[in-house]
Structure 1
Amino acid sequence: MRVTTKGQITIPRKIREKLGIVPATEIDFVEENGRVYLVKKVGPANRKHTFSKLRGVATVKMTTDEIMALTREDQ
């Protein structure tokens, strides 16, 4: 793996999937005893992506009005 002239690296897909690193995930590099570790930050910036993998996977063929009717009490 090489560092680009802009100082960028590519995190391998297996690592990204294992750690749940998606676009806009905040990460840190931590130096300890002469080694550098990539650490995923845990916080509000990363929490909003929790359900991003599920976006667009719903298969319900209902209108918005039909879905809303299910959430309301009978009147």
Structure 2
Amino acid sequence: MKITSKGQVTIPQAVREQAGLLPHSEVEFDVRSNGEVVIRRMSTPVSPIRAAFQKVRGSATAQEFKGMGTDEFMRFLRG
């Protein structure tokens, strides 16, 4: 495998699949003292709206939403 003049390299499909690398995945590089380079998938930051959904996922009766109307719920989700 060669590095292009722009410093790019193609990660083989089998390696991408095994590492869980999808298009637009963020990665970080760790250069070790012996010259090895480790490419690591970075965790995706969670947006506030996704965090709100994760907080109540699987529960339609979450305490925070008891008695909350649709408009109030949408205001909560939108921050």
Residue 28 of structure 2: aligned partner: 28
Normalised to the residue count of structure 2, the TM-score between the two structures is 0.52
Aligned residue for 2:30, secondary structure, equals strand
Q: Percent identity?
A: 37
Q: Give the length in aligned residue pairs.
A: 46
Distance 2:8 2:21 in 1: 16
Post-superposition CA distance 1:37-56 (Å, at most 9, x none): 111111227xx9xxxxxxxx
Normalised to the residue count of structure 1, the TM-score between the two structures is 0.55
> Match of 1:27, as an amino acid?
V
Q: Where do 4+ consecutive residues of structure 1 move more than 6 Å?
A: none
What are the ranges of 5 or more consecutive residues in structure 2 without an aligned counterpart?
51-79
